[in-house]
Amino acid sequence: MMGDDWREFRARLVAREHAEELAETRTKTSVQGSSSSPPKEEKFSKIISGAISSIFSKGGKDDEKKDMFNGEVGGANKFSKLDIPNSCEDPFLSVEECHILYDKPADVNIDKHRWAHPLGHLEPGCVLIANEKLGGVFHQTVVLIIDHSEKTGSTGMIINRPFPGNLLKTASDEDNCNIDLSLKIAFGKAPVSYGGPVMQDQFSTLHGYGEVEGSKKVFPGVYVGGSSQLMLEVRRNTMKPTEVLFVKGHAAWVPGQLSREIEKGVWYVAAASADFILRYAGAPVSEDDNPSDLWADILTCMGGKYEIVAKTHSGKGDQRMSP
C-alpha cells in the first residue's frame, strides 16, 4: 500500500543539480587548467563534496559548541560521454578541450530503495543524523521528524536503536505502558526501538502499511500510529507483525531549540528514502545496504563529506546498550 513519494522527484532534481554543477566545474577546470595535467584526486574529492552541501551556519564560541555536544538535546553521478574526435571544429578550442562540447549530464536516475541528500530546512519526514561528535543517548542516532512548527516545537523518534527483544518481552517489562494484552499477543514478534528520552513508558508505531484509522501520514509510504486497526490487519493475515516497528519513547524540542542545535552543527538534516526510514519496520534490505548501521548507511548514500564522516566513524552499529 505504498503511495508515490513526491520526495523522490525532489531527490532526482538534487541529483541532476549535482551532476550539472560537477559538469560545470569540470568545464571550468579544463578551460583554466592545463589539459595535460588532470586534477589531483584530493582536489577532485573536494569538488564532489562541495557540489551539494547542507546550509548550516557555524556555531558560536568553542565552549558553547562543546556544551551543546555534551549537553541534552531532543528532550535529553555519472556522465554520458561521446567519442572525442581527433580534430575540433571550434577554432577557439584545442583538441584536448573538445570534450567541453560533448560532455553533458546524463539523465539522472536514483535508486528508489536507497537515496538520501542534505536538506537546508526542517520538514515533517526529514531525518536528523547525529553529528559524529554528539554523545549520550543520541550518539550516532537517526531521528525521524514527525512534527515541526516554529510555534509549537518539534517531535521525532529515533529509528535506529533496536532492542534485542521483541514487543512481547519489552512491553512485559513495563508496568504502565500503553500496550494492552491484545496488542502484545498480536504483535508479540514485532521489533522495538528506543525512540527517545521523553515518555519512555509510551509506545508508538512506525509502518508503511498505509493510512488506517488512528494513523498519521508522515509522507507517502511512511505512517505512524493506528495500532488498533493494524492489529486487525495482522489477524486477517494482510500484514505481518514484523512490518510494524514499535518505538518506545520519543524526542521533543521546544520552539527554536532544534533550529539552534542545527545551527551549531549538532545535527545533519537530510531527506531519505522510505526504505531507509522503515529499515527496522520490515523494509527490504539489499546487498548494497549496511543492514546493522543505518547512521553510516544514510551518510554514505549522501556522499561527499558525509560519506567521509561515515567511513571515519562507523563501526559501532545500531544495536547498543539500552539507555
- Can you tell me the distance from the alpha carbon of 14 to that of 52, in angstroms, rounded to the nearest whole number? 8
Beta pairing, strands 244-253 & 192-194: parallel
What pLDDT is attached to residue 84?
39
Largest CA distance in the chain: 82
pLDDT of residue 79: 35
The answer to whether 157 and 146 are in contact (CB under 8 A) is yes
CB-based burial, 247-269: b 16+ in 10 Å, e otherwise: bbbbbbbeeeebeebbebbbbbb
Query: 10 Å Cβ neighbour count for 144?
Result: 28
> Which residues have C-beta within 8 Å of that of residue 107, sequence separation ≥ 6?
none
Nearest to 279 by CA among 153, 113, 156: 113
Q: Residue 26: its pLDDT value, please?
A: 74
Looking at residue 33, what is its pLDDT?
59
All domains of the chain in start order, with CATH: 6-56+77-105 (no CATH), 116-313 (3.40.1740.10)
β 222-225/198-207 pair status: antiparallel
Q: Which residues of the chain have pLDDT under 50?
A: 1-3, 37, 39-61, 77-88, 90, 92-93, 98-105
Dihedrals phi, psi of 80, to nearest 5 degrees: -85, 140
Torsion angle defined by CA atoms of residues 41, 47, 48 and 52, in that order, rounded to the nearest 10 degrees? 170
